[in-house]
């Protein structure tokens, strides 16, 4: 397929997603100002910061293309966007907006329908993250999540997720004596299964596992992954603070867009659990939001994020030392690299 594709085609594809997200943001903001006027005016980001953000975006696309060219993953994954689902559920995004605006206006952060069973979940999880209806426990949320995240990040969410794949494959090379079909990888807080789907494209034979707290999101992940020929999703509902696996079971563990939605104590427990279930010599790879330590110039964007959306633990996350947390759990040789509005941390479990 690479012979028939060009870098320009890929860039055009990404820009189409970017323009779609931008158009939605502009239109929804204008509609909100008419339907639910607010005295609070959000400050536009400075021009020089917008230019830096755009430069980071261009660099992300360049790295994404280069990894495909290098064979880290096939070129066709660059164009794997569920347009049919996006257009199917896009009207639901608009129908849900009035409830989101009202919830944000009233600062109603624990608003769950009576038909949702919220018993047994940790208190920090029972939040209307992003003011969305049903938190992470409804099928509506699971169906809208990937679309909403792509809108939020201007079509770059998948490209940021893929930044874990090169380090993942590199780390697994240390287990070259293990047959490919016996390599076991766990994605913690797998959500809708997007990350697992990308790992499958990069590692066609590995045994993939996923855990998540939300049964609705696990249903969505099962639906998505079951569409892959021969795929049998191994998904479990589980709290990442208490993973239901034996010690030293996985050759690698991953987690994408989880840690900024955890309070500090839970962050440390999840890291310790990742250390426990990862084999000696294996890697734990995190992809999450940028932080002040690596991107101080992005502070206005980060502050605007947690002020605009309901992200109750993001403010602490901004200044949290994840490297220190990983080393405290026992990991070593921890590296961190910024990619657009995300960063990737790679931590190795000592042999």
Mean pLDDT of 185-209: 97
The reply to whether 277 and 197 lie within a common domain is yes
Q: Is residue 304 part of a domain?
A: yes
Asked if the model's pLDDT at residue 37 lies above 90, the reply is no
The reply to whether 151 and 235 lie within a common domain is no
Retrieve residue 291's tokens. Answer: 């932080």
The reply to whether 97 and 151 lie within a common domain is yes
The reply to whether 206 and 282 lie within a common domain is yes
Asked if the model's pLDDT at residue 34 lies above 80, the reply is no
Q: Is residue 162 part of a domain?
A: no
The reply to whether 153 and 209 lie within a common domain is no
Domain termination residue (choose one: 117, 136, 157): 157
Which CATH number does the domain housing residue 252 bear?
3.40.50.150
Residues across the chain: 351
Three-state SS letters, 62-89: HHHHHHHHCCCCCHHHHHCCCHHHHHHH
| pLDDT value at residue 33 | 59
The reply to whether 172 and 319 lie within a common domain is yes
Asked if the model's pLDDT at residue 36 lies above 70, the reply is no
| pLDDT value at residue 38 | 54
Asked if the model's pLDDT at residue 103 lies above 70, the reply is yes
| pLDDT value at residue 216 | 97
CB 241 within 8 A of CB 270: yes
pLDDT band at 7 (very low <50, low <70, confident <90, very high): confident
pLDDT band at 68 (very low <50, low <70, confident <90, very high): very high
pLDDT band at 246 (very low <50, low <70, confident <90, very high): very high
pLDDT band at 4 (very low <50, low <70, confident <90, very high): low
Domain termination residue (choose one: 130, 157, 184): 157
The reply to whether 220 and 291 lie within a common domain is yes
The reply to whether 97 and 173 lie within a common domain is no
Asked if the model's pLDDT at residue 257 lies above 70, the reply is yes
Q: Is residue 152 part of a domain?
A: yes
The reply to whether 60 and 9 lie within a common domain is yes
In this predicted structure, which of 98-102, 118-122, 193-197, 288-292 has the lowest mean pLDDT?
Answer: 98-102
Asked if the model's pLDDT at residue 13 lies above 70, the reply is yes
Q: What is the phi/psi pair of residue 137, to 5°?
A: -105, -5
Name the E strands within the chain: 184-188, 207-212, 234-237, 250-256, 278-289, 332-339, 342-348
pLDDT band at 60 (very low <50, low <70, confident <90, very high): very high
Asked if the model's pLDDT at residue 25 lies above 80, the reply is no
Asked if the model's pLDDT at residue 184 lies above 60, the reply is yes
Mean pLDDT of 255-272: 98
Q: Is residue 220 part of a domain?
A: yes
Q: Give the integer Cα–Cα distance in Å for 54 and 203.
A: 31
Percent of the chain scored above 70 by pLDDT? Answer: 95
Mean pLDDT of 97-125: 90
Q: Give the integer Cα–Cα distance in Å for 215 and 223.
A: 12
Asked if the model's pLDDT at residue 35 lies above 70, the reply is no
Asked if the model's pLDDT at residue 70 lies above 70, the reply is yes
Domain termination residue (choose one: 131, 157, 183): 157
pLDDT band at 32 (very low <50, low <70, confident <90, very high): low
pTM: 0.93
The reply to whether 151 and 178 lie within a common domain is no
The reply to whether 77 and 40 lie within a common domain is yes
Q: What is the mean pLDDT of the chain?
A: 91
Count the domains in the chain: 2
In this predicted structure, which of 37-51, 171-185, 229-243 has the lowest mean pLDDT?
Answer: 37-51
Q: Is residue 163 part of a domain?
A: no
**Domain of 110, in residue numbers:** 2-157
pLDDT band at 256 (very low <50, low <70, confident <90, very high): very high
CB 301 within 8 A of CB 341: yes
The reply to whether 153 and 78 lie within a common domain is yes
End-to-end distance of the chain based on CA atoms, in angstroms?
40
Q: Is residue 91 part of a domain?
A: yes
Residues 24, 28, 30, CA angle at the centre, nearest 5°? 125
Mean pLDDT of 70-92: 91
Q: Is residue 172 part of a domain?
A: yes
CB 65 within 8 A of CB 1: no
What pLDDT, in 10s, does the model give residues 215-230? 999 999 999 999 998 8
Question: For residue 335, what are the β-bridge partners?
Answer: 346
- Greater pLDDT, 254 or 12: 254
Retrieve residue 2's tokens. Answer: 């690479």
| pLDDT value at residue 19 | 79
């Amino acid at each position: 397929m690479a012979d028939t594709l060009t870098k320009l085609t890929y860039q055009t594809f990404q820009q189409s997603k970017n323009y779609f997200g931008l158009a939605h943001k502009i239109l929804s903001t204008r509609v909100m100002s008419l339907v639910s006027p607010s005295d609070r005016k959000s400050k536009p980001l400075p021009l020089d910061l917008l230019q830096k953000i755009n430069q980071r975006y261009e660099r992300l696309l360049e790295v994404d293309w280069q990894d495909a060219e290098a064979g880290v993953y096939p070129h066709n994954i660059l164009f794997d966007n569920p347009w049919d689902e996006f257009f199917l559920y896009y009207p639901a995004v608009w129908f849900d907006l009035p409830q989101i605006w009202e919830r944000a206006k009233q600062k109603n952060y624990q608003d769950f329908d009576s038909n949702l069973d919220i018993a047994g979940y940790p208190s920090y999880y029972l939040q209307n993250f992003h003011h969305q209806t049903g938190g992470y426990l409804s099928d509506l949320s699971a169906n809208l999540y990937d679309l909403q995240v792509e809108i939020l990040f201007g079509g770059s969410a998948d490209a940021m997720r893929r930044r874990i794949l090169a380090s993942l494959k590199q780390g697994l090379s240390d287990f070259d004596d293990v047959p490919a079909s016996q390599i076991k990888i766990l994605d913690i807080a797998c959500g809708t299964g997007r990350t697992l789907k990308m790992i499958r494209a990069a590692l066609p034979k590995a045994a993939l596992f996923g855990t998540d707290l939300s049964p609705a999101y696990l249903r969505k992940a099962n639906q998505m992954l079951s569409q892959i020929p021969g795929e049998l999703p191994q998904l479990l509902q589980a709290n990442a603070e208490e993973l239901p696996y034996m010690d030293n079971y996985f050759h690698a563990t991953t987690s994408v867009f989880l840690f900024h939605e955890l309070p500090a104590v839970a962050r440390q427990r999840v890291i310790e659990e990742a250390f426990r279930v990862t084999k000696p010599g294996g890697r734990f790879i995190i992809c999450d939001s940028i932080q002040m330590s690596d991107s101080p110039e992005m502070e206005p964007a980060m502050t605007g994020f947690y002020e605009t959306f309901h992200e109750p633990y993001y403010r602490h996350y901004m200044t949290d030392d994840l490297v220190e947390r990983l080393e405290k759990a026992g990991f070593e040789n921890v590296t961190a690299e910024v990619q657009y509005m995300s960063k990737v941390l790679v931590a190795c479990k000592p042999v």
